[in-house]
C-alpha cells in the first residue's frame, strides 16, 4: 500500500465520520426540542394541578363553612321546634289526647342535601375553569330571616 491509497482511505473514513457526526447532531437537536416541549407540557400540567388543588381547597372550606352554618341553623330550628313541641305537649296534656307526629331526622336530610350540593359544586368547578362562587352557595341570609320569622310566632 502506498501513501496515496492510505490518504484516500483516510479521506473516506473522515467523510463517513463527519456524516455520522452531522447525523448525530441532527438527532440530538430533535431530542433537545422534544425535551423542551415535554418540559413545557410538564410545567403547564403542574400549574393546572396547583389550580385544581386550590379549587378543591376552596370547595372544602366552603363546604365546612356551609356545614357550620347549617348545623347552627339546625340547632335554632330544633330549639324552635322543641319550644313549639313543649307548648303543644302542654295543650295535649290538658286535652288528654296525644297525636304522634312522624319523626324526621333533619340532620340526615340536610347532610344528604349538603353532600349533593358539594358534589354539584365540584363537578361544576371541574367542568368550567372559573364561575362565580355565589351560584352554588345557600342563601344564608334568607334562611336566617326565615328562622327569625319562626322565632316571632
Q: Is 122 a member of any domain? A: yes
**Into how many domains does the chain fold?**
1
Residue 98 lies in a domain: no
- Whether 93 is covered by a domain: the verdict is no
Instruction: Judge contact between 70 and 110, C-beta under 8 A.
Output: yes
Q: Confidence class of residue 147 from pLDDT cuts 50, 70 and 90?
A: confident
Tell me if the pTM is above 0.85: no
Residue at grid coordinates 473516506:
12
pLDDT tens, position by position, 72-102: 999 998 888 887 655 555 555 555 444 444 4
Instruction: Tell me the mean pLDDT in the region 20-43.
Output: 98
**SS3 assignment, position 138:** coil
Domain that holds residue 119: 3-83+104-127+134-152
Q: What pLDDT is stored for residue 97 in this prediction?
A: 45
User: Does residue 69 belong to any structural domain of this protein?
Assistant: yes
Contact yes or no for 62/125 (Cβ under 8 A): no
- Lowest mean per-residue pLDDT among 2-11, 28-37, 90-99, 109-118: 90-99
Residue 99 has a pLDDT of: 44
Amino acid at each position: 500500500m502506498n501513501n496515496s491509497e492510505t490518504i484516500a482511505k483516510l479521506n473516506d473514513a473522515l467523510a463517513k465520520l463527519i456524516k455520522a457526526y452531522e447525523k448525530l447532531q441532527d438527532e440530538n437537536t430533535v431530542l433537545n426540542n422534544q425535551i423542551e416541549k415535554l418540559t413545557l407540557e410538564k410545567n403547564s400540567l403542574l400549574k393546572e394541578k396547583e389550580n385544581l388543588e386550590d379549587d378543591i381547597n376552596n370547595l372544602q372550606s366552603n363546604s365546612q363553612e356551609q356545614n357550620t352554618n347549617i348545623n347552627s341553623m339546625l340547632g335554632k330550628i330544633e330549639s324552635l321546634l322543641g319550644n313549639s313541641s313543649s307548648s303543644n305537649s302542654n295543650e295535649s296534656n290538658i286535652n288528654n289526647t296525644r297525636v304522634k307526629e312522624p319523626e324526621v331526622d333533619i340532620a340526615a336530610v340536610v347532610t344528604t342535601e349538603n353532600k349533593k350540593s358539594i358534589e354539584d359544586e365540584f363537578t361544576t368547578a371541574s367542568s368550567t375553569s372559573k364561575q362565580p362562587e355565589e351560584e352554588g352557595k345557600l342563601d344564608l341570609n334568607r334562611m336566617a330571616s326565615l328562622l327569625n320569622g319562626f322565632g316571632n310566632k
